[in-house]
Amino acid sequence: MSDELAGKVAVITGETSGIGLASVEAFVAAGARVVVGSLRTELGAPLIEHLGDRMLFLQTDVNRVAEIAELVQHDVDRQGKLDVMFNNAGIGGDLSSILDIEPRAPEGRSSLRLANPDFRAARQRSATPLPSKR
* 41-90 confidence digits (pLDDT tens): 887 788 888 888 888 888 888 878 888 888 888 888 888 898 998 888 76
Q: Is residue 4 part of a domain?
A: no
How far apart are alpha carbons 77 and 72 in whole angstroms? 9
Q: Is residue 132 part of a domain?
A: no
Q: Is residue 108 part of a domain?
A: yes
Share of the chain above pLDDT 90, in %: 16
Q: Is residue 1 part of a domain?
A: no
How far apart are alpha carbons 48 and 119 in whole angstroms? 27
Sign, CA torsion 42/43/46/48: negative
- Its pTM stands at 0.67
Q: Is residue 31 part of a domain?
A: yes
Q: Is residue 106 part of a domain?
A: yes
Question: How many separate domains does the chain show?
Answer: 1
Domain range for 75 is 9-127
Question: What are the residues facing 13 on neighbouring strands?
Answer: 37, 87
CATH code for the domain in which residue 71 is found: 3.40.50.720
